[in-house]
Structures are given as structure tokens and as C-alpha cells.
Chains A and B, each alone.
Chain A
Amino acid sequence: MHIFRRVDSLAAILLIILFFTPWLRVVDGESVNTAWGINVPDVAVTFGEVAGTPERPVIDAYLVILIPIFALLFVIQTFRNVEARGLGLVTALLPLGFLLLLWLRVGQDYFAALYVGFWLSQLAALLMLFALVGDLAIARAIDTVSTTVGKVMFWTSLVMVLIGVYNVITRYLGTRIGIQLSSNVYLELQTYAYNLIFLLGAPYVLMKNSHVRIDILTDRLSHKGKAIIDIFGAVLLLVPLCLLSIYFSQSYIATSFRQLETSPNPGGLLRYPIKFIIIVAFVMLILQGVSETIKNLAFVRGVPNSGSMHELPPEVNEPKITEQTEVI
């Protein structure tokens, strides 16, 4: 049976099975709910959160039913030997989108109620996505995003310098002529620029292998050995760190969002967008970690042009002196 040899259709079958496993756990009682019995307002009340109010019916709770339907259609199409990429993509993206919806709606407490079936179905969805798109294509797409954001940060650093100079000049002129010229807006813009540079620049820096390492012991390893260390590092260190940070940041940031927090300084800027950037940065770091892992795995397997940083000759992280003048 050729459908069992294809990773994407296997993932679709997995999605159908997992749909009937327990997704939710009610902490006080003993009952576990499958995706069938999912009821967002009930769970939210259990956790004392304000989510979907009774007047506003929660539609997304019923959207989950689409997951097994689409997956089934996909399996049937594969069985009939029909190429069904679009259908597969939708099937793979549904659980991921559902996670996002839940998170946006209920927040941190919901994660405590999610049971193993939910997480496994997320993994199955990711697997399906990888199989459909081709893993290196995903890595390239993530790299493109990181590079683009990194390049934007380049110019942010220049803008930051200009804002800094503007701040100095206005403050100095202001004290000289006795008029308040400087404003908190530009001071905070300067700080925000600095935040953006180091938060959103981090995935780019990871991609370029410019995060400092202590490689005195591992320096003599082969390129493959280094790639293996990077795979383990990303899976065991980078991604858990980012997940932990996201988990413990979200209620803090959600509070800021709910209050539409602004800076306490007079004339200050909005605060909640920059706090949200923390989560964006960690998500981007996770994605970049996934991308590095995919590339390193391909490199270890011996795929040519994997794009792994260990495949390229090590990038010389030193200033290039344009002309080596023959001094004296």
C-alpha cells in the first residue's frame, strides 16, 4: 500500500486517530475531554478566566471538527493517487491555527488544561507540513524571514544613531535657549530601536553563527560532529528556553495588552507593542532553531547544499581591511 509509505498521508491518518484521543483535562475532576467534547467557555470558567462570553458563541471550538474531515479527504485523495497538496496544507495548518486561536483567546491557563492528545496532534500537523513542503524548503523560508528582519534591523541601528543625535542636540539647545525641545517620544524611540535590534536581530545572528560559543574543547571536532552538537543544542537547549520564556511571559504581556499599557513618562509611547516583541523574538528564535536543525540534519545525512553553517567554510568574523597598506 503506497499510502503508508508516504509521510504526509501517515501524518494525516495520525491526525484522524489523535482527534479521538483526550485533548483536555479538567484539573479538579477526573474527566478528560476529547476534541469532540471541547467547550471553551466551560474550561475558561473552570480556570477563572474571561474568554468567550455566553452571548458570543465560540465558533472556533467547533472548527476542530474540520481537522478529521480534511485529513480523511486527504487520505482518500492519496489513495486515489491524486495530488492534493492544497488540501494537505489546509489540514496541516488547521491544528496549528487552532492552537494560536486558543492561546489568543484564553492565554496561559489553557495550556495547563491541554492534554497529551492535543500536543501529539500538533506534532502530527508539523510533520505533515514538513513532508508536504519539503524540509529544506521550510528551512530556506525561515532563513529568508530571519535575513529580511535582520536587514531591517541594520537600518534600524542607523536610525537609532540619528535619533540619538537628535536627542542630544535638542536637549542641549533646549537648555541653552530655555525651551523644552526634547521629548520623551524620541528618547523612547531610541530605546525601542535598541530593543528591536537585539530581540529581532537574534535569529539573524543565530543563522550567521555569531552568537559567542565556548569552543575550546569542541574546536577539533569534525564539521559533522559540530553539526550534531548543534542539533542537540537546538532541541534540548534553545527551544526549551524559548518555550519556557514564552510560557512565563504570556500573562505579563497579555495584561499589558488588556490595559493597552502606555509608558508612564509624560508623552510616552505605547508599551504593549514592544512587550509583544519579546514573544515574537522567542517565536522567531524557535523557528530559526528548527531551520538550523533541519539544515544540520540534512548535512549529517550527507545531502549536498544543505545550507548548514558547518558545511560552508567557517565565516571569518573579522573586520576586512580593504587595503593592506605597506606601512612605512
Chain B
Amino acid sequence: MLGLWMFAAAVVILLMGYPVAFSLGGTAVLFTLIGSDLLPTIFGITLPWAPEGVVMGERLFRVARLNALPQGIFGSIMDNYTLVAVPFFVFMGVMLEKSGLAEELLETMGILFGRLRGGLAISVVTIGALLAASTGVVGASVVTMGVLALPVMLKYNYDKGIATGVVASSGTLGQIIPPSIVLVILGDQIGVSVGDLFLGSFIPGFMLAGLFILWVIFVAFTKPDDVPALPEDARKVEPANVSIFVKIALMILSFALFYLIASAIVSLILPTVTFFEANQAVLPNTLHEFIAVIGLLVLYVRYWNAPLFFKVVSNLLPPFFLIIVVLATIFFGIATPTEAGAMGAVGAMILAAINRRLSLENLNEAMDQTVRLTSMVFVILIGATVFTLVFRALGGDRVITNFLLDLPGGSAGFLFFSMLIIFLLGFFIDFIQITFIVVPILTPIAVQVIGADPRLSQIFSVVGTSGTPFFNEQLALLWFGVIIAMNLQASFLTPPFGFALFYLKGVAPPSVQTTDIYRGIIPFIAIQLVALLLIIFFPQIVLWLPAMAR
């Protein structure tokens, strides 16, 4: 019972606005004093609510249980190879942001798609997805998009609602599209390999971006005035002075990129061929690859002097290359997420250097943000470790487990209820706290409930060596992790407390009202929920890519 009080107290203390990490830990200290034998044994004080003192009744827990704390801090937080990926991805994200990537992408995409109704919105979603694939820091990408894209959309008479909706929702894509810090932490807490989680959320993430684009197209047909096309003079391209070396370098890069994608596709389609084998075979080893390479060559020869072509190529290729390299190396088991993160961080620095943005100031900013975000995340994890330790000692986890197991409706009831909890908590607290506190409690129950459900356990079973299928916990948890990530993303967008909306309001021009933002975001929340339901009803969306890669 004291456990539930502890949870309630934590919520109240958190809402007081002191930093989360210390609020959680401080609550734990308070309940250690109340609910353990710390005061009776060490300070000789008799607690009025437990006069039996050191005698272990039902009410007090042995404070010696807290001796597990240092091992918890060292063993599961510090000596953890997976979590090393977090500072790498933060560094990579901030560095890419400093490299001026988003500005150039927006410019180029605007020129490409601007002639269409809703073209600008589509390019914003696309850039959001691309940025998401390279950073994974939610606040940062919403702010970047808000600063860059929102004024442009408003200038060309986009409806305020749809403009803010597009920016907020595409800025939060970084949650679900790998490589994302959310997924790294989630994978660590659930106990699923982060590489698998990246693979599993790949299709759902891009599916979501696709649904956003479909919605924009739908709006373009039903309410054309909300998403007008850009005027002719806004789409002029100034002839860029591209030197021949740059052109040749870009050509080589596009071949390399093409080759990577081609071998990835070949190894996906032919299960017997691994990525390495496809990669190491003599170039070009199949007829269609050969034809495509010729096609690329023709393309380059044909547009050798077209300014737009080289603008597009030079702006799109390098970030695309970086993303493919980072993701492909993880997906095909060449590099661990940690290694890919390190390579990505250096890649982002190189990209910034190419754009002449690798100044000491920018580097300093990137390092600063890395220290701040990394420290913020893991100090919360320390606070949550203390909290969970005391919470378990008080028996709080047993109460919640029993409650969730007794829910009516079996697995459907559990899923609905747990998703509702996460969604509601997402209004108030950050994904980090949810991941560190709620997810570890839900995970073992999820395995139990899904395993007991005949339909679901069949979906998540693999054929063993003996030929009989058996329930695979890892697959079930993988699916569970992706729906949690998807759910968290939706809750970020939900008024009145959605984080993304706060960030956006902070950087939006004064003409944009809060009501505009709230109005604009509603269709995108609906799309999010549709995507969430799709994943819940068709787990194959999550499982297909990991199964292919295996």
C-alpha cells in the first residue's frame, strides 16, 4: 500500500517543477525514511507507525536492500555498452543541425516540389523524416523545423493550422525513425537488441511519414486554398558555380550510395546472400545493376551543366549517404549501434566541414549539448534506479502487476490499459521518465499476457530446431517496444501538454496562436492513432524487416 502512496507522492513532487531526476530520487529517500528500518536500526528512533522497530513486520523493509544501489548504478548504467550509443547519437544530431543541412534541404525540396499544391508541406514532412533518421532528438528537430519551415509556409499563405501541424508532427518523427535515442533507451530497458528495435521501427516510422504525406495530398484536393503552390518566381534557381572536382566527387558518391542500396536490396530479396557477399561481389555483378549504373552515367552526362540537378544532388546526397551508412551497417550486423553512432558522429563532422560550418563555436555547441543531454538522461536514470529500488522494496510493483493481470479482456484489455497509461503519462512527463519507470514494470507483464494469448503467441512464435513452433519473448517485446514508441510520439503531440507543441509555440511567429497549433495538430494525432492501431492489429509491419535481416 505504501508503494502506491509513493507513486502518488512522486507525481505530486514531480509537478512541483524541481528537476525530475532529483525529484524521483528525493521521493525515494523520503519513503526510505518512512518505510524502512533505517531510522530504527541506525539512529535508534522508534517510528510511531511501526512500533515494533527493527522487528520485521509487514510494514518496514530492510534498508540493507539499498546496498544493491551501487551495483545498479555501476552494473546497469555505467558498464553498459549499448547506452554508450546515446552520446554518440546526440553528438551526431547536434553536429548535423549545425552543419546547415536542414536549411539546404528545405531550399532544394521547395524548388523541387513547390510547383505542386501542398508541395512545400510534403517537403517539410520528407525533411522531417530525413532529419529524424539522422538525429532522434525530438525538441531539437521541432525547433529547427519551426524556425526554418514555419515562416516560409506562412509567407506563401499556408493555413496556420496545417502549417503548424505539419511542422510539429514531422519534427517528432525522430522518436520512431531509427536511429533514435528513444529506441536505444527503450531497447536497453525492455531487454531487446537495439539493432532489432531499429529494424522493427523502420517500416512503422516511414509508414507514419507516408500517412502524413497522404493527408497533405488529401487536403490539397479538398481544401486547395490551405496549401497553395509556390509562385513561379519563388522557384528560380541561381546557376551555381560547381567545380568539376565537386561534380566528379558527387558522381562517385552517388555510385557508392547506389551500390550500397542495391546490395542491401539484393541481400534482402535473396535470403541466402548476405549483405557482405552482395557487397564483396565484383561490381556490377547483375544485369539490372549494370543497367542502372549506365543509367546513372547517362543522367550525369545529360545534366552535366544543369544547375538544379547539381543543387539537388549536392544537397541530398551527403546526408542521405550518411543515413544509409549508419542504418545499413546496423541493419546488416556490420556494426553495433554504438559503433554506427561513433561513425555517424564523425560523418556529421565531415559533413559540417564540407559545408564550411565546422567552426570552433559550432563544435563547442555540439559538445555542450552532448554533455547536457547525456547527463540529463542518465542522471534521471540514476534517480529512477533509486526510485524503482525503493518502490520494489515497498512491494509497489506487486500491487501494480496484480492489478494489470486481473484486468478484464485478456491481452486486449492489458494492451488497451497499458497504452492508455503511457499515453496519459505522456501528457505530463518526458519519454525518458516513462521509459525508466513505467516500462520496466509493464515489460514482464506484457510477456506473460501475450504468451497466454493463443492468437498473439502464435504470431510471435518461431520454429525451433525440432520443427515445432514456440513462443519467442524477444519478438513479442520487440513489437511491444515499437508500439510504446509510437504511442509516446502521439502523446507528445496531444494538447494541452504535448511537448512538441510547447517547443513549437516557443519559436513560432507571434501571429500564430496557440489555438491554431491545437487545431492544426488534431488530424495528425488521428493519423498517429491510426498508425498505432495498424501496428497493433498487424504485428507483421514490425516483424517483417527483422525477420528478413535474420
Interface residues of chain A, those whose CB is within 8 Å of chain B, are 112, 150, 153-155, 157-158, 160-165, 167-168, 171-172, 187, 190-191, 194-195, 197-199, 201-202, 204-206, 208, 210-219, 221, 226, 229-230, 232-233, 236-238, 240-241, 244-245, 248-249, 251-253, 274-275, 278, 317-322, 324-325, 327-328
Contacts and interface: CB of A to CB of B under 8 A. Distances in A.
Contacts of B503: 318
Contacts of B430: 212, 214
Given A161-B345, A278-B74, 7 more contacts: A165-B342, A168-B335, A168-B343, A205-B372, A216-B497, A245-B69, A252-B67
B98 interface: yes
Contacts of A162: 346
Contact of B70 (A154, A195, A278, A325): A278
Contacts of A194: 78, 83-84, 86-87, 374
Contacts of B342: 161, 163-165, 167-168
If over half of B's interface residues share one DSSP class (helix, strand or loop), that class is named, otherwise mixed; here it is helix
A248 B22 contact: no
A150 B371 contact: yes
Given A191-B78, A212-B430, A327-B110, A241 B29 contact: yes
B9 to A, nearest CB: 12
Contact of B16 (A153, A167, A229): A229
Q: List 7 A-B pairs, minimum CB-CB distance, nearest first.
A: A164-B342, A237-B26, A233-B18, A241-B25, A218-B17, A211-B19, A154-B367
Interface in B74-113: 74, 78-81, 83-84, 86-88, 91, 94, 97-98, 100, 103, 106-107, 110-111
B378 to A, nearest CB: 4
B140 interface: yes
Contact of B372 (A210, A219, A249): A210
Given A191-B78, A211-B379, A206 B371 contact: no
For A153, A157, A163, A252, the residue with the greatest tally of chain B CB atoms inside 10 Å of its CB is: A157
A82 B98 CA distance: 58
Nearest to B390: A244
A197 B372 CA distance: 9
Interface string B106-141: 110011001000000000000000000000000110
A65 B37 CA distance: 35
Contacts of B205: none
Contacts of A190: 84
B162 interface: no
B15 interface: yes
A112 B111 CA distance: 72
B379 A205 contact: yes
Contacts of A325: 103, 107, 148
Contacts of B32: 244
B172 interface: no
Interface in B301-355: 334-335, 338-339, 341-343, 345-346, 349
Interface in B206-255: 230, 234-235
Contacts of B378: 198
Nearest to A190: B84
Given A165-B342, A319-B140, A240 B17 contact: no
Contacts of B507: 318
For A153, A211, A237, A322, the residue with the greatest tally of chain B CB atoms inside 10 Å of its CB is: A237
A201 B375 contact: yes
Interface string B143-176: 1100111011000000000000000000000000
For B71, B74, B364, B503, the residue with the greatest tally of chain A CB atoms inside 10 Å of its CB is: B74
Contact of A197 (B87, B114, B383, B429): B87
Interface string B358-370: 0000011101111
B184 interface: no
A88 to B, nearest CB: 32
Contacts of B103: 321, 325, 327
7 contacts: A158-B363, A172-B334, A211-B21, A237-B25, A240-B26, A241-B28, A245-B69
Interface residues of B, number: 96
B22 A237 contact: yes
A206 to B, nearest CB: 7
Given A161-B342, A216-B497, A252 B70 contact: yes
B449 interface: no
A313 to B, nearest CB: 14
A205 B74 CA distance: 21
B428 interface: yes
Contacts of B376: 205, 210-212
A222 to B, nearest CB: 13
Contacts of B100: 322
A199 B70 CA distance: 13
B135 to A, nearest CB: 11
Given A165-B342, A197-B375, A274-B78, A212 B380 contact: yes
Contacts of A328: 107, 110-111, 114, 152, 230, 234-235
Contacts of A230: 18
A8 to B, nearest CB: 30
Interface in B271-327: none
B22 A241 contact: yes
Contacts of A213: 17-20
A237 to B, nearest CB: 3
B14 interface: yes
Contacts of A167: 339, 342
Contacts of A172: 334
B432 interface: yes
A230 B506 CA distance: 24
A249 B69 contact: yes
Contacts of A158: 363, 367
Contacts of B386: 241, 244-245
A249 B72 CA distance: 10
Contacts of A199: 78, 375
B261 interface: no
For A211, A252, A274, A324, the residue with the greatest tally of chain B CB atoms inside 10 Å of its CB is: A211
Given A212-B376, A319-B143, A248 B26 contact: no
Given A161-B88, A240-B29, A214 B429 contact: yes
Contact of B375 (A160, A202, A218): A202
Interface string B6-36: 0000000111111111110111111010000
A325 B374 CA distance: 30
B439 interface: no
Nearest to B146: A318
